Amino acid sequence: MRSIAAVSALLVSLASAATAWAQGPGPGWMHDWGMGWGWGGMWLGPLFAIALLALLVALIVALVRWVGGGSDDGPRRARTAREILDERYARGEIDREEYQRRRNDIAGS
């Protein structure tokens, strides 16, 4: 729950900052900053926007993993019957005679 709130707060702050950046400092200030790029500006502008969006998504994914504390254990393999029997014996759930009897049953099957 904490990670959802953190990501939501980050998205709201980034969205509000992006709208402020888009408006610029005021009328007349560098009004023709983007002019003169010609055909290059037509292609580079969207590429920069896509790169910025990819960076933003990567940062959000990293933040969610960091806040969520994801594990890197990977997929777990299925335990064998012998491993389960050994664990039960180690925890004291079964006595020595029952452990040996079940171990022999597993080995014989």
Residue range 33-65, pLDDT digits in tens: 555 555 556 677 788 889 999 999 999 998 888
Residue 76 pLDDT exceeds 80: no
The Cβ of residue 85 has, within 10 Å, a number of other Cβ atoms equal to: 19
State mean pLDDT over 96-105.
94
DSSP 13-68: HHHHHHHHHHH-S-TTTTTTTTTT-HHHHHHHHHHHHHHHHHHHHHHHHHHHHHHH
State mean pLDDT over 83-96.
94
Closest to 82 in 3D by CA, of 109, 49, 106, 58: 106
Q: Where are the domains of the chain?
A: 80-109
Query: pTM above the 0.75 mark?
Result: no
State mean pLDDT over 59-76.
77
Least confident of 3-7, 9-13, 14-18, 73-77: 14-18
